[in-house]
Structure 1
Amino acid sequence: MEPKININNSTHFSWLSCWPQWTGYAAALWSLLYGLLGLYWFLGGNGFPFGKNDSRAEMMGSFLSNLNVDVGGPVIAIAGLVGTVVAIAMKMTWGSRFHRAIFLSYAWIMSVTLIFIVPDSRIVQNFAYLFLLHFDLLDWRVINQVFCIVGGFIWGASAIAYFRLTQNACGNCGRNDATEGSSAKATAKWGKWFTYFAVIMALPYGIVRWAWALGIPLGTNDSSMVGNEDNVRVEAILGGLCIGGGVLTLGLIQRWGVIFPWWCFFLAGKQIPIWFVMVPAMLMSTIITITGLKLSPQIIFMMVNGSITNENWGQFVPFLFWLPWGISLGIAILAYYLKRRGRCKHCGKL
């Protein structure tokens, strides 16, 4: 018997809350559009964003710095075409259990590839530069990476919805009769420790940058980076983003992460919507993980060959904390969600 998705189709639910119903179509549309782009590039179109067309790729830790259009174009085109078919098949629940396992595997491979393989550290670089009102490095290659991350989230949501569908669970919360009421208390303990770990991992980069802003040559002998009037504001903001992010992470296990504190004026005392915390935290976890994943291999290689010394470690070593920071933050966010999700408005389970 075909599994049935457990979603209430009442019209009072917003389109966003009914995401299990439309993410499959969104994945099909995204795949079709990007597949057509791949075909366009393969046929000689301009703008292929990888390989020799991207002079900064290797420096920014790209895994695709050697990908040329003769290979990349058809791969993207085929992946897009197959993805379109798979997304529609998932939505229509075609095939046997074996086929469903293949569809689900393909969906997760697409999600991981688009979020963690295609983008590089330019994502976090341009995010940080937004606070400096510096947009000179925002180009088509960065826009392409953002588009791929969006596609990765769409594919991830489609995979989650499809897995829940095949398990006869609620598409929105994932609960069925066997799992009802079993998660909130169990996540409180491990969520707390991952939160603390994420806070600690956020500090090294911020401490080094603040030291430079104060004129302290911590881990560098480059005078242009320490105490320079032009760089003081930059280093202070870059360091503040990390340390401020670490402080905000504590909200995942504090009351002020659930209830607006007194200094929020007219919002004080009101419950914080879960999406208000989840969305920015998930985005930050993603771009931090991407940066750590792309830069860590380069930094480790530099440490092994002796390129990193007592005179320049401050420019590189703090990035080694970013991969565990991003992963632990992601797990802490999951724990926060499981603790706060409450009774599902679609299936009624707690």
Structure 2
Amino acid sequence: MLKPSGAALIASALTFLSFESRHFLPRGFVIIDLPAWATPLAAAGGVLGAALLLSPLRARRTLVAINSAAALLLLWAAGGILFDLLRLFGLMALPPDWPMFATRAFALTSAILLFRATVLRVRELVGTCGRCGGPASPPPRLLGYLGVLFALPYPVLKTNWALGGTIGLDYPDPARDGFTSGWLVVPAALIGIVLSLALVHRWGRIWPRWVPGLAGRPTPRGLLLFGGWFGTGLLFTMGPAGFATAVADLISGPSANAIPGMHYWPGALFYVSWAFWALVLGPSVYLYQRATRRKPCETCDRVPVLQG
């Protein structure tokens, strides 16, 4: 059976091959265009990281450092895959950009596999169970509070615009005047804020007393994990690309804004905040998943500690 490290190596190689296919396959309209060196570097990092996991190397910190950098580069290369999916299913009035859609899909797959393979290798090196990782504490509450902090810029500014405000705008934009299409993504951000807090508080594991009919019962762990990992993946595929663009613009000067009437800084703030939100939401979900295991491990027979 193919190990995650081997699958990550293959996915990284396919990332590079798909990226090179843009030279001879038809392209669609380009929404996100990274520097020409970014995707090859990410693919090379993925290949290197996977190869090290397949090697006898036992330097745990070296493996974690290299593969963390490689995974972040791959997530950067996967930036924009949400738009690719919207185009694929006809939710955007643009045909798919097939070469880059394949590139981003393989990059995202490689990042996920590399993360999984690294976790398994680290557990092997430290002598813990490869399946459950051994005992774990719930995520620290600081991660949840930081998640709220990084999540707030988007809903706050969007709500201001929906109410007719002009923070970051030259004039009230009709598309954002009222709670219409420009505001519809805000509820998802608000759900993400609640999720960030639920992952680090007791009421995210056990329903609190003020919830009628459910008080004292376990919360739907699977739903929280699905939302947490989905949100983390979404933020990681949007935030790093925008963050890198903001840094490049800071060095070379802001590029022309694609949205007339909007200042440069709101868009940059959104992407930077999403990147940092991803960096705290991901560990929160991972630690929550380990700490709230409710069935004995099938490998080490460890019985989970009741959460309360």
User: What's the TM-score once normalised by structure 2's chain length?
Assistant: 0.71
The match for 2:36 among 66, 91, 96 is: 66
Partner residue of 1:4?
none
Partner residue of 2:235?
288
**1:169 correspondence with 2:169:** no
Q: Deviations over 1:93-131 (max 9, x none)?
A: x64657x9887776555434322x3122x245568x69x
The match for 1:216 among 165, 171, 194 is: 165
CA distance in 1, matches of 2:200, 2:22: 53
Alpha-carbon distance, 1:347 to partner: 0.7
Distance change (3 Å), C-alpha of 1:285 and 1:171 = same
CA distance in 2, matches of 1:154, 1:314: 33
Give the CA RMSD over aligned residues.
4.6
SS in 1 for 2:145: helix
The match for 1:339 among 266, 291, 295 is: 291
**1:134 correspondence with 2:91:** yes
Q: For the Cα contact (< 8 Å) 1:285–1:329, is it kept in 2?
A: yes
**1:119 correspondence with 2:89:** no
Distance change (3 Å), C-alpha of 1:269 and 1:41 = same
Partner residue of 1:319?
271
Distance change (3 Å), C-alpha of 1:258 and 1:135 = farther
Question: After the TM superposition, which residues 117-266 of structure 1 pair with which residues of structure 2 at under 5 Å, given as runs?
Answer: 117-120=76-79, 122-123=80-81, 134-136=91-93, 139-140=97-98, 141-175=100-134, 181=135, 183-184=136-137, 187=138, 191-225=140-174, 227-228=176-177, 232-259=179-206
SS in 2 for 1:172: coil
Amino acid aligned to 2:127: N
Partner residue of 2:32?
57
Alpha-carbon distance, 1:248 to partner: 2.7
Amino acid aligned to 1:66: A
Distance change (3 Å), C-alpha of 1:40 and 1:262 = same
CA distance in 1, matches of 2:22, 2:271: 38
Amino acid aligned to 2:124: L
Partner residue of 1:35?
13
Aligned length: 294
CA distance in 2, matches of 1:317, 1:308: 16
Amino acid aligned to 1:163: V
Q: For the Cα contact (< 8 Å) 1:217–1:226, is it kept in 2?
A: no
SS in 1 for 2:112: helix
Specify the structure having the higher radius of gyration (Cα): 1
Distance change (3 Å), C-alpha of 1:345 and 1:299 = same
Alpha-carbon distance, 1:327 to partner: 1.4
Distance change (3 Å), C-alpha of 1:262 and 1:125 = farther
Distance change (3 Å), C-alpha of 1:262 and 1:134 = farther
Alpha-carbon distance, 1:315 to partner: 4.0
CA distance in 1, matches of 2:282, 2:46: 28
SS in 2 for 1:253: coil
Alpha-carbon distance, 1:199 to partner: 1.3
CA distance in 2, matches of 1:46, 1:172: 43
CA distance in 1, matches of 2:290, 2:47: 36
Deviates more, 1:149-158 or 1:39-48: 39-48
Amino acid aligned to 2:73: T
CA distance in 1, matches of 2:151, 2:21: 45
Distance change (3 Å), C-alpha of 1:37 and 1:240 = closer
Q: Which runs of 5+ in 1 are unaligned?
A: 1-21, 176-180
CA distance in 2, matches of 1:331, 1:264: 28
